Structure 1
């Protein structure tokens, strides 16, 4: 029988009633979901709670303790799939929790009553039984000829003893303190039992023992887990409370870890529930928010020299509005070269057998987990296969930055992945802002930890910004490390040219040689000075020198500045390649996307006979991505409007320009550009009276300090109105346009005034004469 637990699972249901790949029983028929009654919410109700907004509707049924109900704690993964041996914020009681840097509302998960979480029929399914000998790992305890397999016995291949039965029963008292209520769940390394602490008013706790105390490797892992858990103290990691012992069947004391009870639902169960009700994976903003919540916990372990090793949806549990890492059995010291490494194939990094656990291998598991939560990852040979591409997965095609983040996190080369959980969290937060901006239709700006804000706005108007020097002067600048040895000196310099800057810095350094050797910011500042001075050759020479500096090898800022140097050389393709590389490395940063957008626009503008459409399409996509997320990047607004206008989407261009904030320094320019776009008529008869009056109302509403700019703005509208009247058009409304009648005489009088105002404001004699002549030519004819 084919597995029906998940639509894409290729497994089959064994005789024990479970899938041989995903480990779940067949999915029972589910009633038709009820739509959430909350206004504006599209979620569905399950157990009286909305899967999207978290609102509670009606009475809440109690959780059932049967198999397949919400498991309170522990991984339900099989030993075979959970182990791969190598040879070497919460808020107050609100109805919705906010995760993902406080930007995402996720449904709350009610805490499961401990008494309802105990398994009524605690068994390890046969398809999850494997030999505990790390050198063997063969299937054991399997049924034959219709007869069930033995839960205890000896491996027929290596002779190792195995046991898959719980060792504690309800009523057992451990250490005179912990009364066992029953088994909760089984994981790759042991059984979990629910107990109550008699010394703390029967507070529920979890006892973790061994699945097979005869397995030396498992025993070693349990001892290591005790040692590691005793050192761990993080709000997103399950807390160890005590250790206790209880005599085994042979009278030998067996150790148990006493942990806090986390009554909730794992991300794997949340994913299955979402798929059952809505037929899809978790929304990307929810999945990212969950991962962001757990990255500090993993980073905390790394700071203590520990690797989690088995990060996956099964091992993250949500209770109310808090997430916790559970099942610490695979935790290992990163410098441990002797112990076995436990993990789950499909999530584990491919190099871990050779390198052992590293930060890079941990990043890989996080990337794989994020992908599994959001999309279908095809299975190969019973385990998760490669990530799908943007050509087959619509989510990745829609969110390019998210796709690039996943590619970097799961890069086959460990050195190409994120260097830390902090770096990954920083970039993932930026990606989340983009996802939310597209999803909600409003910007989600945030401060960058790598770049300063845009310095200027380039490309104002409808002309392609074809001056590389102006582009470099406008693009954001990488932030200076305040702890760099030359940071203070760099902040106090006023030189402009590279030569003057170098002399000033040299004079300010007590030890030139020492500072040049230790400072990373000093050579970068000199490269930047060469670029801003417009000397591409000098900048490239300094870049080559910087690449020889061990402290700067593969530094992302070298890529940023190399792209700018190629811009100065007008080598658009090479510049685009550099910025694209940086975009892949820093997918959450807007600066590389903005640079890539203008470079692609320049490639299209200088296509030289080749098809400009692909480059123009990339430019438009990157401009939109930046502007949609952060409205302080006004260069992106002008770029997006420029490309929309060129594509014939005049209304779309005006819509973008209208989004520029009134507090922006280029607000007036944006409104005038919107008027120019409205009046950009390519065919006779396209201009209408409503368009003219809309343009006039926009200019009238502007507060313009300069008489020259005011005259120029009025001139645009009145000139278009004169052309419209010359075509024989007759206005329907009798209201004035820019304070003049909408007829030949009125419009001509207004134009005459504009030309004379411009002539009055200019200091150039010949320009003044030309403007006066234009005023005389356009003035209405009289009989005097």
Structure 2
């Protein structure tokens, strides 16, 4: 998405999109499950730990140039071991209820066999035993797996049905087996292999994409959340342990599931997926470790996706930022929970789909509250009387030159109080109070929160101090720049932010912090100081922590726009706008980017696509009309063309304006039209001629009508426009509240713009 975007509109989100958002391409189980049985099953090349708890040296390990001993005695302690499959095809278990078909694979702890339940019409099931039946620790783990998982019933976690002991009756070793659900489908390892060869994992025309990868991640995280809520960690997440079944996934191989506080067990992990602190033996598996393994799994899948290269678009950038946070070397920098990561990943998925399809896939944020503020400095407003008070009356004489349109980029200090507001954390001591309706006005908010701090208990609130930081910035924004309190309010905002940092134990001078809330408020304070480049760095931190949220993208879009990095600004604004066309601030940001490039049609188009249910709909319609009518640059090429003025004429009656607003907007449009008509008519101001855009008199006739001073079907004239503007200035001079000096100036403008005549125009005394 590094190029320019012209089609910014988005169709409404399809009905039922929330229900089907996470659906994957359907993968059907094989017609014959027996086709999955291994013909030549081989134990893992890395071997297994010795079954003697006091030894645990690896046995059955493959070394180059030597023959592997899958059965025998530990060379270190002499304990017997066997790593070969213990069950044979056709062998009965549990009095004949289960009949073995053969080995399917080996997991972290044991062999997995396909079998059938003879009492249920030979329904396929799976039997799982330990890889080395003489390993007492592995057997205990299998029993724990049975006890912990048999009560869990979740569509994305393999179900455990039964548990059976089995004595073969020959020289083979007696063992116990878990009876599990048969999960027909393909492992993500198989999906990875198929992604690199035709016809692909899902058939012709549907390769593996980042959208598929994001769906896999959301499904996996949903299953892990169930385990984490029960105080368990999965420990060994990798593509081999996830089966794509139907339109969803199922986690298998639960042998590594354990409690984070179980320090006596050797964790079941896989090198390359395990978090550094676990792989190096410094910590047992934790939720942070599981987050890391999911990140590594997604990273591997993304590398095989056809659109998985970093930098291929804003949605892809968001995805890779999510993976970077999940796999951060420091556990405290990763997502705090599977639920948090899933929420952000779903946001990234919605962004990917919206950017690809042009449809809205939006959902209310669980992190930021929507703001009524519009990040615009007047583009979407009807100009006030001040627009004409600063003009010299002489400018309205024959050689008229209308001023270019101000694109309305807001000041950084205004953006600091207009961005979306972070929702207070529920675990904050004042979380409940802060979610209640606040008093009207920022000064009242400051008084309320200051009184709260006076009675604060032993648990200090970070959220109250962050809210005070924003409230002081809001009070400051309402003051005139020269107010004596202007500087003190900014210092108070900074003081409250430092207090929040101290409560969290964060050094105030440290640039990068693990808590995105602090980074966000640092960015706001920097904006209030007009230090946009410094603010951008803090918002980058927030975007890295919350890649599925639109608020940091909105902030980054503004920062990029402020330093004229138009392509970067467009990319961020576009991502927000595509996902939710009600985001008026993103629409106005995109329009300003297009105006900076001189792209009138594109700027107006994006604002015309703001939907009626948006609170910024009226402002967007006004802005679109002004853009189509305006001079965009001082030169002749900055003027509108005939089709733009015709669109303005059609749209003006539909705008919801009071009489005064309509008169002022019409006057502004007529000024630009006068500038245009001077170049589209003959020198005497009345005879139609071929104008600046090549339009002859016949084409100019479509502009006939009251807006441009002509009769329907007749071309507008410079004389008619000047008459209308002269009348507007005199009406404006008579308005209540216009003092004598202003009134005289407006009358001078009226006289200057009035068409030249041999007769003396009668003087009119303006009323006050």
Give TM-score, length-normalised by structure 1: 0.76
CA spacing shift, 1:563–1:111, aligned 2, 3 Å: same
Q: CA deviation at 1:750?
A: 4.4
Assess if the C-alpha contact under 8 Å between 1:131 and 1:162 holds in 2. no
The answer (yes or no) to whether the contact 1:707–1:761 under 8 Å persists in 2 is: no
The structure 2 residue matched to 1:244, chosen from 132, 141, 164, is 164
Aligned match of 1:638 in 588, 597, 604? Answer: 588
1:316 matched to 2:282? The reply is no
Deviation at 1:479, TM superposition (A): 1.9
Deviations 1:141-176 (A, max 9, x none): 67969xx86654456788665544332223322111
Aligned to 2:482: none
Match of 2:28 in 1: 110
Structure 1 residue 102: Cα displacement:
3.4
- Who is 1:655 aligned against? 605
Kindly indicate whether residue 702 of structure 2 is the aligned counterpart of residue 735 of structure 1: yes
In structure 1, distance between residues paired with 2:197 and 2:492 = 61
Query: 2-side partners of 1:138 and 1:746: how far apart?
Result: 99
Residue in 2 aligned with 1:354? 282
> How far is the alpha carbon of 1:294 from its aligned partner?
1.7
Higher relative contact order (CA 8 A, sep 6+): 2
- Partners of 1:452 and 1:479 within 8 A in 2: yes
Classify 1:667/1:492 alpha carbon distance in 2 versus 1 (closer, same or farther; 3 Å).
Answer: closer
**CA, structure 1 residues 225+271, in 2 after alignment: closer, same or farther (shift >3 Å)?**
same
Contact 2:125 2:179 in 1 (8 A): yes
After TM superposition, the structure 1 = structure 2 runs for residues 157-556 of structure 1, keeping only pairs within 5 Å, are: 161=80, 163-176=82-95, 177-248=97-168, 249-250=170-171, 253-277=174-198, 282-352=208-278, 353-376=281-304, 393-395=310-312, 399-459=316-376, 460-461=378-379, 462-463=406-407, 465-481=409-425, 486=430, 489-490=433-434, 491=436, 494=439, 496=441, 501=445, 504=448, 512-514=455-457, 517=459, 519-534=461-476, 535-550=489-504, 555-556=515-516
Deviation of 1:416 after TM superposition, in Å, equals 0.6
Spell out the pairing of 1:699-738 with structure 2 (5 A cutoff). Answer: 699-727=651-679, 728=681, 729=691, 730-733=696-699, 734-738=701-705
TM-score (normalizing by structure 2):
0.77
CA deviation map 1:558-598 (0-9, x unaligned) = 33222222222222233222222222111222112222332
CA–CA distance in structure 1, aligned partners of residues 18 and 243 of structure 2? 16
Cα shift at 1:722 = 2.5
In structure 2, the CA distance between the partners of 1:283 and 1:215, relative to structure 1 (3 Å rule), is same
2:534 corresponds to 1:574: yes
**Aligned partners of 2:78 and 2:697: how far apart in 1?**
98
Is the 1:495–1:504 Cα contact (8 Å) retained in structure 2? no
- 1:692–1:721 contact (8 Å) kept in structure 2: no
User: In structure 2, what is the Cα distance between the partners aligned to 1:483 and 1:330?
Assistant: 31
Per-residue deviation, 1:408: 0.7
The residue number in structure 1 matching 2:738 is 764
Query: Aligned partners of 2:732 and 2:209: how far apart in 1?
Result: 56
Alignment deviations for residues 697-735 of structure 1 (CA, whole Å, 9 cap, x no partner)? 453353232223323333344333322332242334222
Residues 75-130 of structure 1: CA distance to partner in whole angstroms, max 9, x if unpaired?
Answer: xxxxxxxxxxxxxxxxxxxxx999986325521111334544452614217x7363
Report if aligned partners of 1:711, 1:757 keep a CA contact under 8 Å in 2.
no
Contact 2:24-2:248 within 8 A present in 1 as well: no
Contact 1:114 1:263 in 2 (8 A): no
C-alpha distance in structure 2 between counterparts of 1:438 and 1:395, whole Å: 12
Aligned residues: 662
Rate the CA distance shift 1:376–1:474 in 2: closer, same or farther, 3 A: same
Mapping for residues 125-136 of structure 1, pairs under 5 Å: 128=45, 130-133=47-50, 136=57
Of structures 1 and 2, the larger Rg is shown by: 2
Q: Do the aligned partners of residues 330 and 507 (structure 1) sit closer, same or farther apart at CA in structure 2, a change above 3 Å counting?
A: closer
CA distance in 2, matches of 1:159, 1:655: 79
TM-superposed CA distance for 1:357, in Å, is 0.3
- CA distance change for structure 1 residues 753 and 574 in 2, over 3 Å: closer, same or farther? same
Contact 2:86–2:173 (Cα < 8 Å) also in 1: no
Please, which moves more after superposition, 209-218 or 566-575? Answer: 209-218
How big is the shift at 1:673?
2.6
Q: Deviations over 1:507-536 (max 9, x none)?
A: 679x9142x635444333322322212211
1:680 and 2:631 matched: yes
Deviation at 1:376, TM superposition (A): 4.8
Cα-to-partner distance string for 1:478-510 (whole Å, 9 max, x where unaligned): 223567554565536537466x6565457679x
CA distance in 2, matches of 1:254, 1:782: 112
Q: 1:544 to 1:129 in 2, by over 3 A?
A: closer
Local SS of the residue matching 2:102: strand
